[in-house]
A and B are shown apart, each in its own frame.
Chain A
Amino acid sequence: QQQVKQSPQSLIVQKGGISIINCAYENTAFDYFPWYQQFPGKGPALLIAIRPDVSEKKEGRFTISFNKSAKQFSLHIMDSQPGDSATYFCAASMRGGYQKVTFGTGTKLQVIP
């Protein structure tokens, strides 16, 4: 079964600190790696995504680092803010297969003032 393993399950970071969430995958056919952000009472929403032909993608304070040989990718949130407190899901999908997305188990991030 295709899996995406995510850690940690929960994370507490002080305001201004760096939040780091890690994911690992097994299936080398995956070619799209998104991160979703979910606030309480809301559905997940796409935050940032990367393809395996680049090693890093940055959008504002959010950066994805991608290591194709290790089959790992991570989300870094710089200068973390209380408004970043949410649950984050990494995911992976492949071309074809009706665009099914395999999600990680989620990381609940709390940024404390």
Chain B
Amino acid sequence: DVKVTQSSRYLVKRTGEKVFLECVQDMDHENMFWYRQDPGLGLRLIYFSYDVKMKEKGDIPEGYSVSREKKERFSLILESASTNQTSMYLCASSPLRTSGSNEQYFGPGTRLTVT
């Protein structure tokens, strides 16, 4: 089974703190994604990576950065956390699509509260 793990299930940080969210996948997937999930807004893509050290902005990258130094690990960084970044953060991975499905495999999420 594909497994995507996230470093924390719950996190409480103060405004202005630097926050690191870690994601690890064990299926040698090329693609990794960071989403935030908010009620009524669904899943919104923050950043994604299709290879080590490669990254692309998603739909809402402002206030975030990412790092992918190893294929299995994708980190989301909030340089200076703000209260409007309080949300559920979901990491996902998918294999390079050659044929068939384009399935993404999700981690359990990190609920971040910024006070």
A residues neighboring B (CB under 8 Å):
1, 6, 9, 32, 34, 41-46, 49, 89, 93, 95, 98-101, 103-106
Tally chain B residues at the interface, Cβ within 8 Å. 29
17 pairs from A and B in contact (CB 8 Å cutoff)? A34-B103, A41-B109, A42-B109, A43-B90, A43-B107, A43-B108, A45-B105, A45-B106, A49-B102, A98-B48, A98-B56, A99-B94, A99-B97, A99-B104, A100-B58, A103-B35, A105-B42
Q: How far is the CA of A99 from the CA of B103 in the complex (A)?
A: 9
Tell me which residues across on chain A come within 8 A of B33, comparing CB atoms: 100
Interface SS, B side: strand
Question: Which residue on chain A has the smallest CB distance to residue B107?
Answer: A43
Task: Scan B33-59; emit 1 where CB is below 8 A from any A CB, else 0.
Answer: 101000011111100101000001011
